[in-house]
Amino acid sequence: MDMPKPTPSHEKLHVFAGEWQGEETMQPSPMGPGGRATGKMTARVDIDGFFVISDYVQQKDSTSTYRGHGVYGFDVDAAEYTWYWVDSMGFPSVPSRGKWDGETLVFESSFPHGKGRYTYRWEGRDKHHFSIENSFDGGASWSKFMDATYTRRG
């Protein structure tokens, strides 16, 4: 049997590969007072082209305040993109599932106390906007948690 090969849908995720830096605006929440921060992400295509693996760090006043590790993939059977995330808050990974709409990739996840929506809007290959929204009423209403714009470094 021949080993599977990445599909064009897998390869679409390769746009994440590289080094990124951007300005972030956090909203006040139970996790902190909000405010401005700088985010840095390094991502690479791995596992024979099927996945993109990322490492992220957020800094405020030159101090690391949050770190995370993500794995982006594509579920061929469900025709959906997948995103697994673990971070310095220590919560178990909750898989997010998403779809592309033009140049925008939107993931959603459900967790015991609510839902999350994560939107990546690309401007070419070297700039993207990212936002996180949360819902605590089953998705009837959403509140912004974070907005950011990242550019490719180097």
In order, the DSSP letters of 63-91 are: EEEEEEEEEEEEETTTTEEEEEEEETT-P
For the ranges 5-9, 12-16, 50-54, 58-62, the lowest mean pLDDT is seen at 58-62
pTM summary value: 0.93
In this structure, whether the domain defined by 8-152 belongs to CATH 2.60.40.10 is answered with no
Q: State how far the Cα of 104 lies from the Cα of 81, in Å rounded to an integer.
A: 12
CB-count exposure of residue 138 (10 Å: 0-12, 13-18, 19+): exposed
How large is the average pLDDT for residues 32-46? 95
The tokens for 102 are 């033009």
Furthest-apart CA atoms within the chain: distance in Å: 55
Interatomic CA distance for residues 22 and 18, integer angstroms:
13
Answer whether residue 36 shows pLDDT above 80.
yes
Which of 128, 107, 104 has its CA nearest to residue 24? 128
What pLDDT band is residue 112 in, cutting at 50, 70 and 90?
A: confident
